Amino acid sequence: MTRKPKCQTHEEVMFYDTDAGGVVHNIAYLRFVEKARTLLGSKLGLSLKEMSQSGLYAVVTRTEIDYIKPAVLGDRLTIEGRLEDVGRVRFSCAFEIYRDSDKAKMVTSRQELAMVQMPEGRPARLPVHFKKYRAS
Amino acid sequence: MTRKPKCQTHEEVMFYDTDAGGVVHNIAYLRFVEKARTLLGSKLGLSLKEMSQSGLYAVVTRTEIDYIKPAVLGDRLTIEGRLEDVGRVRFSCAFEIYRDSDKAKMVTSRQELAMVQMPEGRPARLPVHFKKYRAS
Amino acid sequence: MTRKPKCQTHEEVMFYDTDAGGVVHNIAYLRFVEKARTLLGSKLGLSLKEMSQSGLYAVVTRTEIDYIKPAVLGDRLTIEGRLEDVGRVRFSCAFEIYRDSDKAKMVTSRQELAMVQMPEGRPARLPVHFKKYRAS
Amino acid sequence: MTRKPKCQTHEEVMFYDTDAGGVVHNIAYLRFVEKARTLLGSKLGLSLKEMSQSGLYAVVTRTEIDYIKPAVLGDRLTIEGRLEDVGRVRFSCAFEIYRDSDKAKMVTSRQELAMVQMPEGRPARLPVHFKKYRAS
């Protein structure tokens, strides 16, 4: 089995990421995860450009997010993503968000994805090159 | 000249509308305005369904927003929109956001729109029925 | 055990809820769920005003979202929420998003919440009136 | 008069930045501008950390955005910001968003800001070091 791709993105918490509770809002963490997954996807041959050209899109079928510690305005965060499990028609990615100042784990997330041929919206198999990431 | 269409929408300020400053974030007001304009558009024969079927879209070419008083978590707001000026290829809409509890004016906004034929992205004239809203 | 509170909210899919894939974006569904949970919270004595006054906030510790069918521009959606399980320091809510035109189930979601005393961020017990919702 | 501070940020257009029209949504451009202004603010001694410590916040009182060309999924954009005019109680910033591939100007924006002492919300003078940016 080939080593599974990983990715790393960085965010600085902006006002628009926070809410009146003084902490980063749930919705902002999902945006951070979406950006990290996009980068991870490009390492899997699923870049935005490639998908919009082929019409073969990886669509998220499930998201899980655990909020462990609250990030605040001005925090610098690192989002680490990795390909997790690979099946025939689905795969999953795992994400962890750390605070740069003390490496505290703030959030973990997991997403399941399936391939869909657009614009028909027809389910499709994973591209053949995913085979190398499958546990034998 | 026919009476110009108006619209009214309502929002209750949610956590995700606020920021760590304790007030509604700039971006949230624009979302409120976008929703009001969508409703106003449907009164102008430019509903989401009509535009996605005809491919003739009203696109915003300019937005102005003045932030007068800050709304806070839990505030109930009313957004009043109206068709303002109508030209041959452009029209404009004006919006005012009021706090329900005391009718205070919180935000004013103005948007200019032009018609575009999609997917070519070609500029198009306003639909002929807009003529009745034009100052003679 | 007292009947558990339910809530119902309504959304019309706006341009800003959709993405270039032509469907509602993951992030928009979470915003719909957040609004529904806010309404459900107000039926549980956890309104935005009550929480900002007491400083006792219900914070989401986990979100799960399953995307079943994709909603599109102009769809009218109903979000049904209900209090699910109630423990001593945590409770959970379940949400289902339906398309009004054919009652198709589009999305399901589940959130776990815990009470936190702000601004200290200290974990707190559920308000005593939650006892009536606890399975005996 | 001292040379006025400038800033530059970069964005890659994500799915969540686009809408069903296939282009970047108005709201996303405002988020890009907000991030650029935050960076510009930190060059003006108005970083998120400094403002949350002093309670002296620069608040946006007016936003103008002109949408010139539509950006699409996967576009790489550069946002250039600069301090524009400086008065005694207000200042303004100007922003231009370019597409990296051909340097096309996509969007221009302008924001006016005033200083407010929080949590009282009392208007305040610009910090004294702004004097050097004022036209004499």
Residue C47 has pLDDT above 90, yes or no: no
Question: B48 falls in which pLDDT band (50, 70, 90)?
Answer: confident
Contact A130, A4 (CB under 8 A): no
Does pLDDT of C15 surpass 70? yes
Domain ranges of chain A: 6-133
Report the pLDDT value the prediction gives residue C32, as an integer from 0 to 100: 98
* Structural contact between residues A122 and A97, judged by C-beta atoms closer than 8 angstroms: no
pLDDT band at D108; cut points 50, 70, 90: very high
First to last CA, chain A: 7
Instruction: pLDDT band for C51, please (50, 70, 90 cuts).
Output: confident
For A123, the enclosing helix (H) or strand (E) is strand A122-124
Q: State the DSSP string of A3-35.
A: PPPEEEEEEE--GGGB-TTSBB-HHHHHHHHHH
Least confidently predicted of D41-45, D53-57, D109-113: D53-57
A98: amino acid identity, one letter: Y
Contacts of C23 in chain D (CB under 8 A): 20
Average pLDDT, chain A: 93
- Note the CATH number of domain D6-133: 3.10.129.10
ipTM of the predicted structure? 0.93
Going by pLDDT thresholds of 50, 70 and 90, the confidence category of residue A55 is: confident
D49 neighbors D41 (Cβ within 8 angstroms): no
Tell me if A73 and B27 make a contact (CB, 8 A cut-off). no
Of B30, B70, B119, the CB nearest to D27: B30
Q: Which whole number is the average pLDDT over D44-69?
A: 89
Whether the pLDDT of residue C97 is over 90: the answer is yes
Please give the pLDDT value at position C3: 87
The per-residue pLDDT for C1 is 65
Length of chain B: 136
Which residues of chain D does C27 touch, with a Cβ-Cβ cutoff of 8 Å? 16
Q: How many CB pairs under 8 A join A and D?
A: 36
Among the partner residues C18, C26, C27, nearest to D19 by beta-carbon distance = C18
Chains B and D: how many Cβ contacts under 8 Å?
Answer: 56
What pLDDT is recorded for position C22?
85
Task: Mark yes or no for CB contact A48/D16 under 8 Å.
Answer: no
pLDDT at residue B37 greater than cutoff 90? yes
Give the C-side interface with D, CB within 8 Å.
15-16, 18-23, 25-27, 72-73
Q: Is the pLDDT of residue D1 over 90?
A: no
Residues 6+ apart with CB under 8 A from A75: A12, A13, A24, A99, A100, A101
Whether the pLDDT of residue A1 is over 70: the answer is no
Are residues C99 and C15 in contact, defined by beta-carbon separation less than 8 angstroms?
Answer: no
Evaluate if residue C136 carries a pLDDT over 70. no
Per-residue pLDDT, D20: 87
Chain A interface, best mutation among C17, C30, C69, by max A CB count within 10 A: C30
Where is pLDDT greater, at B50 or B124? B124
Q: Tell me how far CA of residue A13 lies from CA of A23, A28, A31, C136, in angstroms.
A: 9, 9, 12, 43
Residue C130 reports pLDDT greater than 70: yes
Of all residues in chain A, the one with the smallest CA distance to C119 is: A21
pLDDT score of A57: 87
Strand partners, D124: D115
pLDDT in tens, C17-42: 999 888 999 999 999 999 999 999 99
| CA pseudo-torsion sign A96, A129, C65, A39 | positive
Condensed to tens digits (0 to 9), the pLDDT of residues D118-133 reads 778 789 999 888 999 9
- Helix B26-43 vs helix D26-43: crossing angle, to nearest 10: 160
Q: How many helices (H) and strands (E) does chain D have?
A: 2, 6
Given this model, what pLDDT does residue A19 score?
93
Q: Which two tokens stand for residue D43?
A: 């060059």
Neighbouring chains of B at 3+ CB pairs within 8 Å? A, C, D
Query: A110 or D118: whose pLDDT is higher?
Result: A110
Tell whether the model's pLDDT for residue D79 goes beyond 90: yes
Q: What is the pTM of this model?
A: 0.95
- pLDDT given at position A14: 94
Neighboring chain A residues of D52 at a CB cutoff of 8 Å: 73-74
Sign, Cα dihedral of C120, A29, A99, A105 = positive
Chain C CB contacts of D20 under 8 Å are 15, 18-20, 22-23, 72-73
Chain C positions touching D73 (Cβ under 8 A) are 20
Of D16, D23, D26, the CB nearest to C27: D16
CB contact under 8 A, B48 and C14: yes
Higher pLDDT, B9 or B3: B9
